[in-house]
Amino acid sequence: MASDPFRLFDEWFAEARANEPNDPGAMALATVDADGRPSVRIVLLKAHGPDGFVFYTNQLSRKGEELANNPRAALLLLWKSLRRQVRVEGSVSIVSNEQADAYFASRSRDSQLGAWASDQSRPLDSRGTFEQRFEDMKTKFENKDVPRPPHWGGFSVAPEKIEFWSDRPHRLHERHLFTRGPDGNWTEGLLYP
Protein backbone atom coordinates (compact mmCIF):
# COMPACT_ATOMS: atom_id res chain seq x y z
CA MET A 1 0.00 0.00 0.00
CA ALA A 2 1.52 3.33 1.07
CA SER A 3 2.89 4.98 4.18
CA ASP A 4 0.79 8.11 3.57
CA PRO A 5 -2.95 7.43 3.97
CA PHE A 6 -3.86 10.78 2.41
CA ARG A 7 -1.97 10.10 -0.80
CA LEU A 8 -3.65 6.71 -0.98
CA PHE A 9 -7.05 8.30 -0.31
CA ASP A 10 -6.41 10.86 -3.08
CA GLU A 11 -5.65 8.01 -5.52
CA TRP A 12 -8.73 6.00 -4.55
CA PHE A 13 -10.99 9.08 -4.56
CA ALA A 14 -9.75 10.07 -8.04
CA GLU A 15 -10.62 6.57 -9.28
CA ALA A 16 -14.04 6.81 -7.61
CA ARG A 17 -14.75 10.18 -9.24
CA ALA A 18 -13.87 8.65 -12.61
CA ASN A 19 -15.83 5.40 -12.15
CA GLU A 20 -18.54 5.69 -9.52
CA PRO A 21 -21.81 6.55 -11.30
CA ASN A 22 -23.47 8.43 -8.42
CA ASP A 23 -22.00 10.74 -5.78
CA PRO A 24 -18.49 9.38 -5.20
CA GLY A 25 -18.28 11.84 -2.29
CA ALA A 26 -21.32 10.39 -0.51
CA MET A 27 -20.33 9.10 2.90
CA ALA A 28 -22.13 7.66 5.87
CA LEU A 29 -21.68 9.76 9.00
CA ALA A 30 -22.16 8.02 12.36
CA THR A 31 -22.74 9.98 15.56
CA VAL A 32 -24.23 9.20 18.97
CA ASP A 33 -26.81 11.04 21.04
CA ALA A 34 -26.48 12.02 24.72
CA ASP A 35 -27.59 8.50 25.74
CA GLY A 36 -25.05 6.81 23.47
CA ARG A 37 -27.62 5.72 20.87
CA PRO A 38 -26.00 5.69 17.42
CA SER A 39 -27.39 7.46 14.38
CA VAL A 40 -26.16 7.30 10.80
CA ARG A 41 -26.98 9.26 7.63
CA ILE A 42 -25.38 10.18 4.31
CA VAL A 43 -23.51 13.48 3.90
CA LEU A 44 -21.30 14.71 1.07
CA LEU A 45 -17.53 15.00 1.32
CA LYS A 46 -16.60 18.53 0.23
CA ALA A 47 -12.91 18.71 1.18
CA HIS A 48 -10.29 16.36 2.55
CA GLY A 49 -6.67 16.27 3.58
CA PRO A 50 -4.41 15.70 6.60
CA ASP A 51 -6.43 18.19 8.67
CA GLY A 52 -9.72 16.43 8.10
CA PHE A 53 -12.66 15.25 6.03
CA VAL A 54 -15.14 18.12 5.65
CA PHE A 55 -18.91 18.18 5.15
CA TYR A 56 -21.51 20.93 5.57
CA THR A 57 -24.92 20.96 7.24
CA ASN A 58 -27.38 22.78 9.45
CA GLN A 59 -25.58 22.87 12.80
CA LEU A 60 -28.93 22.77 14.64
CA SER A 61 -29.86 19.49 12.93
CA ARG A 62 -29.79 16.22 14.84
CA LYS A 63 -26.28 15.45 13.61
CA GLY A 64 -25.12 18.97 14.44
CA GLU A 65 -26.47 18.74 17.98
CA GLU A 66 -25.00 15.27 18.46
CA LEU A 67 -21.59 16.47 17.29
CA ALA A 68 -21.80 19.50 19.60
CA ASN A 69 -22.41 17.17 22.55
CA ASN A 70 -19.89 14.50 21.52
CA PRO A 71 -17.36 15.78 18.96
CA ARG A 72 -16.34 12.36 17.65
CA ALA A 73 -17.58 10.63 14.51
CA ALA A 74 -17.04 7.80 12.07
CA LEU A 75 -17.31 8.07 8.28
CA LEU A 76 -17.68 5.43 5.59
CA LEU A 77 -17.22 5.94 1.85
CA LEU A 78 -18.37 2.97 -0.22
CA TRP A 79 -17.52 2.72 -3.92
CA LYS A 80 -19.42 -0.36 -5.09
CA SER A 81 -18.24 -0.05 -8.69
CA LEU A 82 -14.63 -0.31 -7.48
CA ARG A 83 -15.41 -2.82 -4.72
CA ARG A 84 -13.69 -0.60 -2.17
CA GLN A 85 -14.50 1.29 0.97
CA VAL A 86 -12.73 3.68 3.30
CA ARG A 87 -13.55 4.06 6.99
CA VAL A 88 -12.47 7.11 9.00
CA GLU A 89 -12.70 7.68 12.75
CA GLY A 90 -11.75 10.83 14.58
CA SER A 91 -12.50 13.98 16.48
CA VAL A 92 -14.72 16.68 15.03
CA SER A 93 -14.34 20.45 14.88
CA ILE A 94 -16.27 23.24 13.19
CA VAL A 95 -14.63 24.78 10.12
CA SER A 96 -13.86 28.50 10.08
CA ASN A 97 -16.53 31.02 9.13
CA GLU A 98 -14.40 31.99 6.13
CA GLN A 99 -14.27 28.39 4.89
CA ALA A 100 -18.03 27.93 5.43
CA ASP A 101 -18.79 31.25 3.70
CA ALA A 102 -16.68 30.29 0.69
CA TYR A 103 -18.34 26.92 0.30
CA PHE A 104 -21.85 28.34 0.83
CA ALA A 105 -21.20 30.94 -1.89
CA SER A 106 -20.28 28.14 -4.32
CA ARG A 107 -23.66 26.37 -3.88
CA SER A 108 -26.55 26.86 -6.27
CA ARG A 109 -28.93 29.67 -5.36
CA ASP A 110 -31.78 27.21 -4.72
CA SER A 111 -29.56 25.21 -2.35
CA GLN A 112 -28.68 28.44 -0.54
CA LEU A 113 -32.37 29.34 -0.22
CA GLY A 114 -33.16 25.82 0.96
CA ALA A 115 -30.68 26.20 3.81
CA TRP A 116 -32.71 29.18 5.03
CA ALA A 117 -36.08 27.50 4.48
CA SER A 118 -35.35 24.21 6.27
CA ASP A 119 -35.49 23.59 10.01
CA GLN A 120 -33.54 20.41 9.36
CA SER A 121 -34.50 17.43 11.53
CA ARG A 122 -37.46 19.28 13.11
CA PRO A 123 -41.06 18.06 12.70
CA LEU A 124 -42.83 19.35 9.56
CA ASP A 125 -46.63 19.52 9.37
CA SER A 126 -46.78 19.30 5.57
CA ARG A 127 -44.65 19.47 2.44
CA GLY A 128 -46.65 22.58 1.50
CA THR A 129 -45.31 24.42 4.55
CA PHE A 130 -41.73 23.75 3.49
CA GLU A 131 -42.41 24.75 -0.11
CA GLN A 132 -44.02 27.99 1.08
CA ARG A 133 -41.01 28.76 3.27
CA PHE A 134 -38.79 28.22 0.24
CA GLU A 135 -40.92 30.66 -1.80
CA ASP A 136 -40.76 33.14 1.08
CA MET A 137 -36.95 32.96 1.03
CA LYS A 138 -36.96 33.54 -2.74
CA THR A 139 -38.94 36.73 -2.14
CA LYS A 140 -36.83 37.82 0.84
CA PHE A 141 -33.56 37.52 -1.08
CA GLU A 142 -34.83 38.60 -4.51
CA ASN A 143 -32.12 40.54 -6.38
CA LYS A 144 -29.70 40.02 -3.46
CA ASP A 145 -26.89 37.65 -2.65
CA VAL A 146 -27.98 34.93 -0.25
CA PRO A 147 -25.80 35.05 2.89
CA ARG A 148 -24.89 31.93 4.81
CA PRO A 149 -27.39 31.31 7.63
CA PRO A 150 -25.80 31.63 11.09
CA HIS A 151 -26.84 28.04 11.91
CA TRP A 152 -25.26 26.53 8.78
CA GLY A 153 -21.62 25.53 8.56
CA GLY A 154 -19.05 22.82 8.16
CA PHE A 155 -17.60 20.06 10.25
CA SER A 156 -14.16 18.52 9.87
CA VAL A 157 -13.41 14.99 11.05
CA ALA A 158 -9.71 14.88 11.98
CA PRO A 159 -8.74 11.28 11.32
CA GLU A 160 -7.18 9.15 14.00
CA LYS A 161 -7.80 5.90 12.09
CA ILE A 162 -8.28 5.33 8.37
CA GLU A 163 -9.07 1.87 7.03
CA PHE A 164 -8.84 0.96 3.34
CA TRP A 165 -10.87 -2.13 2.39
CA SER A 166 -10.66 -3.94 -0.95
CA ASP A 167 -12.91 -6.77 -2.06
CA ARG A 168 -11.11 -9.98 -2.94
CA PRO A 169 -12.37 -13.35 -4.25
CA HIS A 170 -13.81 -15.88 -1.80
CA ARG A 171 -14.26 -13.14 0.85
CA LEU A 172 -10.50 -13.03 1.38
CA HIS A 173 -10.71 -9.25 1.48
CA GLU A 174 -7.78 -6.93 2.09
CA ARG A 175 -7.86 -4.43 4.96
CA HIS A 176 -5.16 -1.88 5.69
CA LEU A 177 -5.46 0.18 8.86
CA PHE A 178 -3.57 3.44 9.34
CA THR A 179 -3.43 4.73 12.93
CA ARG A 180 -2.17 8.18 13.94
CA GLY A 181 0.15 8.08 16.93
CA PRO A 182 0.49 10.71 19.66
CA ASP A 183 3.39 12.23 17.70
CA GLY A 184 1.14 12.73 14.65
CA ASN A 185 2.90 10.05 12.60
CA TRP A 186 0.98 7.22 10.96
CA THR A 187 1.55 3.50 11.34
CA GLU A 188 0.10 0.93 8.96
CA GLY A 189 -1.03 -2.59 9.62
CA LEU A 190 -3.20 -5.32 8.18
CA LEU A 191 -6.48 -6.63 9.60
CA TYR A 192 -8.09 -9.99 9.04
CA PRO A 193 -11.14 -9.56 6.80
Provide the annotated active-site residues. 171
DSSP string, 31-61: EE-TT--EEEEEEE--EEETTEEEEEEETTS
Torsion of CA 8, 14, 16, 19, to 10 degrees: -140
Q: SS3 sequence, the chain? A: CCCCHHHHHHHHHHHHHHHCCCCCCEEEEEEECCCCCEEEEEEECCEEECCEEEEEEECCCHHHHHHHHCCEEEEEEEECCCCEEEEEEEEEEECCHHHHHHHHHHCCHHHHHHHHHCCCCCCCCCHHHHHHHHHHHHHHCCCCCCCCCCCEEEEEEEEEEEEEEECCHHHCCEEEEEEECCCCCEEEEEECC
